[in-house]
Amino acid sequence: MHPFFKRTLLITGAALLGTGAAHAQTPALSDPPDIEGATVGDHGSVTLRMGLGLAETSPQYLSSQYFADILDQRSEGRISVNIFPNSQLGDDVQMMEMLQTGTLDMTYPSTSPATGYVSELAVFDLPFLLPTREAAIEAMRSDAAQEMLDAFDGTGIKALAFSENGFRQLTNSARPIASPEDVAGLDVRGLSVRTMENPVHLAIWQTLGANPTPMAFGELFSAMEQGVVDGQENPWSTILTSNFYEVQEYGSETRHVYTPFIKMISQRAWDRLDPEYQELVQEAALQAADYEIQLASEYDDWARDQLEERGMQVTRLDDEQIAAFQQAVQPVYDEWAPRIGEDLVAEFQRIAESSMSQ
Ligand code: KDG
């Protein structure tokens, strides 16, 4: 058996034992692609410490294992990656700062909290901009997106690749949500929603009449458990693998924004690597990103169905209901498109339209 799968099965088994639940923790997932390419020369032993926000069953973790396997195999065991999941080393913002100071080698945040480094990344935060995974992939592989990765130059962080976090869905513990009015609450108070630390996300939820609170991902579960916030928004896979269904009764399939992840390495760690190792790390990051996108697509509907099986009441929105949300968030475009760059927004709109006409 491929070492990756041995490990995945162990994790899955452990997760099952841990919860005592009869539910599967992962869907039937594609095998990782065979590791191909020549082995690299001996440039000494290197250990890279990688911090992740999400859990061991997430596509983020599973594809990071694949990344580690590629490096291990192609360096004949000289490059190892130690992965620390579940925000145990810090949240996205803290881990990016640790990369800058060199106290952590690699991390993997959403693009949203990284807009403090490269403001153009905020194009990905515009609501309902990228309607399909195909459009999102094209946007992440575009020249404009490559320029965003390159723009980390000089920040102390080297950005290696975009990958998939996913289409974000709303969950909450207060009431079923099918319209902007449900978010705002007509005779009840507006929903309090945790957002990532990102001004466009704040604007989206303010515009919808919610009370948004930016908060680190690692604090979110207990904030919801204690009723500090009513709800949050994340891809179904994250909602499942982070056990949010234990504290969130209602889900709504809003797909209101597609946020990528961005794989990063500390510039200090990068500069210490021999050029041949650098090339390998870059290649492995791109291969692991492709694999993660595959895993995330396999998780998506499956995770939603699992959440329903575990008792979450999921509201599926029809086209008209989605259109009502789209219309309600138009002011976010008026405010943010000029700040992000009209040309960039138009380029992403073009990508979205061409994916719809295929
Ligand atoms: O490692 C990534 C996570 O920390 C985080 O980005 C997940 O989408 C996320 C969120 O809502 O914070």
Which pLDDT does position 333 carry in this prediction? 98
Closest residue CA from atom 1 of ligand 1: 53
Residues 244, 91: Cα–Cα separation, whole Å: 17
pTM for the whole structure: 0.92
Amino acid at 1: M
Q: Read off φ and ψ for residue 257, nearest 5 degrees.
A: -160, 145
DSSP 129: S
Handedness of CA 252, 255, 257, 258 (dihedral sign): positive
Ligand 1: residue of 62, 92, 195 to mutate (most ligand atoms within 8 A of CB) is 92
Distance between CA 48 and CA 36 in Å, rounded? 21
Q: What is the bridge-based pairing of β-strands 79-84 and 250-253?
A: unpaired
CA of 350: how far to CAs of 167, 353, 354, in Å? Answer: 19, 5, 6
Give the number of other Cβ atoms within 10 Å of residue 63's Cβ.
26
Domains of the chain: 44-165+259-308 (3.40.190.170), 169-257+309-356 (3.40.190.170)
Residue of 260, 294, 303 lying closest to 32 (CA atoms): 294
pLDDT tens across the length of the chain (358 residues): 334 333 443 344 334 333 434 577 788 888 899 999 999 999 999 999 999 999 999 999 999 999 999 999 999 999 999 999 999 999 999 999 999 999 999 999 999 999 999 999 999 999 999 999 999 999 999 999 999 999 999 999 999 999 999 999 999 999 999 999 999 997 788 999 999 999 999 999 999 999 999 999 999 999 999 999 999 999 999 999 999 999 999 999 999 999 999 999 999 999 999 999 999 999 999 999 999 999 999 999 999 999 999 999 999 999 999 999 999 999 999 999 999 999 999 999 999 998 888 7
Query: Ligand 1 — pocket residues by CB below 6 A?
Result: 52-54, 60, 92, 108-110, 165, 196, 217, 234
CA–CA gap between residue 144 and residue 149 (Å, rounded): 9
ipTM here: 0.98
**Which among 357, 355, 358 is positioned nearest to 137, based on CA atoms?**
355
- Give the model's pLDDT for residue 22: 59
The β-bridge relationship of strands 169-172 and 250-253 is antiparallel
Q: How far, in Å, is the centroid of ligand 1 from the Cα of 195?
A: 10
Distance between CA atoms of 262 and 159, rounded to whole angstroms?
7
Distance 130 CA to ligand 1 centre (A): 19
Going 174 to 177 to 183 to 187, the CA torsion angle's sign is negative
Kindly list the distances between the CA atom of residue 83 and the CA atoms of 34, 61, 194, 285, in Å, as whole numbers in the listed order: 21, 8, 26, 14
Find out whether 219 and 196 touch, Cβ atoms under 8 Å: no
Taking the alpha carbons of 182, 244, 303, 50 in that order, is the dihedral positive or negative?
positive
